[in-house]
Amino acid sequence: MDKGLTGKKKIGLALSGGGARGFAHIGVIQEIERLGIPIHCVAGTSMGALVGGWYATGKSVDDIAIILEKHPWKSFFEMKKVPWNVQGKGGLFSMERVERLLREYFGVIRIDDLKTPYTAVAVSLKTGREVDITSGDLVDAIIASGSVPIVFTPRKYGNDFLVDGGLLNNIPCDVCFRMGADIVIGVDVGRPFSDLQLVSDQGQLNFKPWDVYRVINVLLSVVGEAHAQARLANDKVFVIRPYVSHIGSSAFDRVNELVRLGREAARAQEDALRKFMGMESREKILLEKVADFLSE
């Protein structure tokens, strides 16, 4: 751990939603770990809830990258079940396959038992308000936080039904503060400019069954953008924005590329992050190493 980190400040990690772009969170976390930055709490929305949940278990984020890379995510969009899902469950696609995958690797674990305090952000269909899930079954929380309205069936939660938290709070830095953080590292992968490119240069509609996910993600981001920018206007928040706007939210086959882009973004901002954290600069560390070498 860097000598500049005194351990006096509690550091929160807020991970945004953004569909497949959320895989970039893995690369950012890898760099945070390389720098020895201790994370005291994690809050995540949608894909951020998934990656953040895995991290909060204490498992290696390298492992989740391998797991996510080998699964054909587009197979989760089962067209033959759409009529039944719409009529009986309130969404085009069920999250049943996603849930089976998560339970296979997460196992049975409760948020209360996680190594790092964790919150998944969702929205109530009953009240229209944000719901911060801080206890109960971890997989249930992840599914609720990522249940994109219309695309996926809402998640039953007690006497309520929950949908994607990106509607109201896509970058939950404020949740980290409520969890006790003094400063927060926020990772924003939610800006979906590439998702708007559904029309080819020839004027043809490039639309596949799973592209409905991209369209709804655009709408989610438009709705949540104003909320996000207001929350990020805080000198106790350091935001990392991986360059992923050219990658669609349904590009689940580009895991390794997105992880790499997350690492690159964190490395590009390393000096600024060190300054924000009160850590020694890379130049000072290098000079100290040279001085130690010369004194031997």
Q: How far is CA 25 from CA 12, 36, 188, 211, 295, in A?
A: 14, 17, 9, 22, 41
Alpha-carbon dihedral of residues 163, 58, 15, 51, nearest 10 degrees?
Answer: -60
pLDDT at 93 over 80: no
Residue bearing tokens 């770990």: 33
Residue bearing tokens 């069936």: 153
- The catalytic site residues sit at 46, 164
d(CA 181, CA 149): 30
Name the 3-class secondary structure at 68.
helix
Q: For the chain, what is the mean pLDDT?
A: 82
Q: Are the beta carbons of 217 and 164 closer than 8 angstroms?
A: no
Q: How much is the average pLDDT of 181-207?
A: 67
- Nearest alpha carbon to residue 263 among 32, 4, 3: 32
Strands of 85-159 (E only): list them.
118-124, 130-133, 155-157
pLDDT digits (tens, 9 = 90+) for 120-142: 999 999 999 999 999 999 999 99
73: confidence class by pLDDT, cuts 50, 70, 90: low
d(CA 31, CA 13): 13
Looking at residue 1, its amino acid is: M
CA 193 to centroid of chain Cα atoms = 18
d(CA 255, CA 47): 13
Answer positive or negative: Cα dihedral of 181, 185, 189, 191.
Answer: positive
pLDDT digits (tens, 9 = 90+) for 7-39: 579 999 999 998 889 999 999 999 999 999 999
- Nearest alpha carbon to residue 45 among 24, 66, 19, 27: 19
Angle between helix 61-69 and 255-268 (nearest 10): 150
d(CA 280, CA 235): 19
pLDDT at 75 over 70: no
Please provide the size of the chain in residues: 296
Looking at residue 163, its amino acid is: V
H or E segment at 20? none
- Nearest alpha carbon to residue 14 among 284, 258, 240: 240
pLDDT at 92 over 80: no
